């Protein structure tokens, strides 16, 4: 009887440990690239341009259903201008992909790695054009989707073309340092 009692206690102990570890387990889910979107807006003194860019891959890390981490990779070659057509669309897309802006030949990917999440504040390391900066964004996680609008200062990543912060007398040729991304990440 004592042997059965000891075996029962050992099995109960293992069961409790298994439940404890599963309660603290972090789940990794790949993002659904085909259902995830990024829309961008870049502003200048005389107006703005907008478009899309695509995710290449990514994953979210969840603990008890709450976002705790993740990694997202954006394919910079997919920069698309949606407010222009024809020759002007092609010229702007080419310029955005050039070294003046994102230098996609040398830097075909941009990444964001989540380092912490506190409520809706997501902090992480954003890498654009080979430069990594710590960033903080307000993003909402709901129904297997992470969404929000984030503002990024391009000059922090060495993208200074047309910036009044670095060049004088640009007048109406000046381009704002910040651009906006509206993201919807499905997982």
Residue 169 covered by a domain: yes
State yes or no: pLDDT of 40 exceeds 60: yes
Task: Report the predicted TM-score, pTM, of the whole model to 2 decimal places.
Answer: 0.86
| Tokens representing residue 89 in the block | 């669309």
Domain carrying residue 148:
26-186
Each residue of 106-128: pLDDT tens digit?
Answer: 999 999 999 999 999 999 999 99
Residue 5 covered by a domain: no
Domain total for the chain? 1
Cα distances from 128 to residues 51, 86, 111, 153, 170, in angstroms, run: 18, 28, 7, 11, 25
pLDDT bracket for residue 13 (50, 70, 90): low
CATH number of the domain encompassing residue 118: 2.40.128.110
Residue 11 covered by a domain: no
* Least trusted range by pLDDT, from 19-23, 125-129, 130-134, 178-182: 19-23
């Amino acid at each position: 009887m004592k042997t059965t009692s000891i075996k029962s206690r050992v099995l109960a102990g293992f069961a409790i440990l298994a439940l404890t570890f599963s309660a603290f387990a972090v789940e990794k889910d790949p993002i659904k690239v085909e259902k995830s979107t990024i829309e961008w807006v870049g502003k200048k003194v005389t107006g703005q341009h907008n478009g899309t860019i695509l995710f290449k891959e990514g994953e979210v890390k969840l603990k008890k259903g709450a976002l705790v981490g993740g990694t997202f990779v954006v394919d910079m070659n997919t920069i698309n201008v949606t407010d222009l057509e024809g020759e002007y669309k092609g010229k702007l897309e080419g310029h955005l992909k050039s070294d003046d802006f994102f230098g996609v030949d040398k830097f075909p990917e941009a990444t964001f790695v989540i380092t912490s999440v506190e409520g809706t504040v997501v902090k992480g390391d954003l890498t654009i054009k080979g430069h990594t900066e710590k960033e903080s964004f307000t993003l909402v996680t709901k129904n297997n989707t992470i969404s929000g609008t984030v503002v990024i200062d391009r000059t922090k990543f060495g993208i200074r073309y047309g910036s009044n912060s670095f060049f004088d007398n640009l007048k109406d040729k000046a381009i704002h340092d910040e651009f906006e991304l509206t993201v919807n990440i499905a997982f």
